[in-house]
Amino acid sequence: MASTESNPALSYLKSHQQDYIKELTEFLKIPSISALPSHRIDVRNAAEWLAQRLRQAGVSRVRVDDTPGHPIVFGEAITDPAKPTVLVYGHYDVQPVDPLDQWTNPPFSPAIRDNILYARGASDDKGQVYMQLIAAEAWLKTAGLPVNLKFLFEGEEEIGSTHLSQYITAHQPDLTADLAVISDTPMFAAGVPAVCYGLRGLAALEIEISGPAQDLHSGVFGGSVANPAQVLSTILAAFHDDQGRVQVPGFYDGVDPLSEKERQNFSSLPFDEQDFLQQTGSPKLFGEAGFSTLERVWARPTLEINGMWSGFIGEGRKTIIPQKANAKISCRLVPHQNPARVLDNVMQFIQENCPDTVRLKIKRQEADPGTLTPLDHFATQAAVKAIEKIWRQPAAFIRMGGSIPVVVTFDQILKIPTVLLGFALPDENFHAPNEHFHLENFDKGSQTVATLWSLLENMDA
């Protein structure tokens, strides 16, 4: 492996550092707010800017593809079909900017203070998309790319990636790859670069329990019929034991036990439990017995009541037996749990716990699985090595408790694993006023990505 000094891509990045920051600033000036119809043309302009810039970098077959919504930018740089191919995904659209008066500099007039770049999209995700672009350019303009790259940049991430999975299905041959790399996530903390290799999935349903044809007078009827609110509470209360364990039979089927290695990785992270507690505002942390907070959030499934409503909730009193009671339930799922089966099991549990004195309706919603790229996967290990080379410190292995739908799409349609390698910081105000990106992390991030490409050269394609 070439040393840092002799890697031509790294030297190229360093010698162009100032130009790159200036150019990123130009990209950030385009107000590509996908949610607002008045910015439609700006979103397209950002797509065209990006496409033009990819061509200039030496990427071929660059296209701006129309969708029924905002366009998708595609490009590829094929070095040698025998080498591994990496699909790089990111998004060039941004969130709306209000409240405007809370910005120190206007959101689309980027400003640098203390080596931090302030603008909407600086970290989420235009800054990181551009970081990917220059990492590729640094190879294309010097020794040539060590791997094949394909680029997929969408303009609808901030509005739910409405047309993305349709596009991926339709363009599957173009998108064939061995691996996806996404830079749209934060590091674990300032100074703690991380490789994220696991995400949780999501499954949800709604329950409606009804009894009488309308609210009943509790003086006339109280005691003679079942109260839907009472029945619903009994069912909801049965979901967990007092140790936070889900009681639905089969709920934990398929859940991988945490390996000793993973537990060690998690516990070695600079995680401040008090700080985390403070973020929640709760008086105390609580969760499934036998697991640490990070383990509960990253690697254990949950069942949550997201909402419940029934009867009279106005001021004063209204002595009724409510006609119905409702609840919304969702489960965060970990990799290898079968989402459809989890919903089956939860539904069966509700049915079995529901007496025949009421009527039960369950509305089942879509479910997505959790995703995991194994710790010992070549790409996960390569990402860690790339971080260690550039940052001269160990990389953190992290998972995230949330879901990123595009990762599920890559897993299910393209059948490829994803490595999440982001260089934003958790407190860089994504979606909020004064969004920013630490330029030191932008520089090191682009160097890390450029290094990763050389380390992936020997991955089995």
State the residues that interact with Zn ion by CB under 5 A: 124-125, 184
**Minimum distance between the CB of residue 315 and Zn ion, rounded to whole angstroms?**
42
CB-nearer residue toward Zn ion: 49 or 239: 49
**Minimum distance between the CB of residue 278 and Zn ion, rounded to whole angstroms?**
26
Type of residue found at 426: P
**Minimum distance between the CB of residue 91 and Zn ion, rounded to whole angstroms?**
6
CB-nearer residue toward Zn ion: 156 or 184: 184
CB-nearer residue toward Zn ion: 126 or 300: 126
**DSSP state string for 319-358:** -EE-SEEEEEEEEEE-TT--HHHHHHHHHHHHHHTS-TTS
- CA 100 remoteness from chain centre: 26
**Minimum distance between the CB of residue 123 and Zn ion, rounded to whole angstroms?**
9
**Helix ranges restricted to H, 353-395:** 378-391
**Minimum distance between the CB of residue 424 and Zn ion, rounded to whole angstroms?**
9
CB-nearer residue toward Zn ion: 76 or 124: 124
Torsion of CA 252, 256, 260, 261, to 10 degrees: -140
- Classify 110 as helix, strand or coil: coil
Query: Who's near 5: CB < 8 A, 6+ residues apart?
Result: 11
CB-nearer residue toward Zn ion: 155 or 335: 155
**Minimum distance between the CB of residue 87 and Zn ion, rounded to whole angstroms?**
17
CB-nearer residue toward Zn ion: 184 or 368: 184
* Cβ atoms 19, 138 nearer than 8 A: no
CB-nearer residue toward Zn ion: 295 or 428: 428
Burial of 185 (0-12, 13-18, 19+ CB in 10 A): buried
CB-nearer residue toward Zn ion: 425 or 456: 425
**Minimum distance between the CB of residue 17 and Zn ion, rounded to whole angstroms?**
24
Query: Who's near 114: CB < 8 A, 6+ residues apart?
Result: none
**Tokens representing 197?**
């290799």
Distance (Å, whole) CA 330 – CA 12: 48
- Classify 15 as helix, strand or coil: helix
- Classify 10 as helix, strand or coil: helix
**Minimum distance between the CB of residue 113 and Zn ion, rounded to whole angstroms?**
23
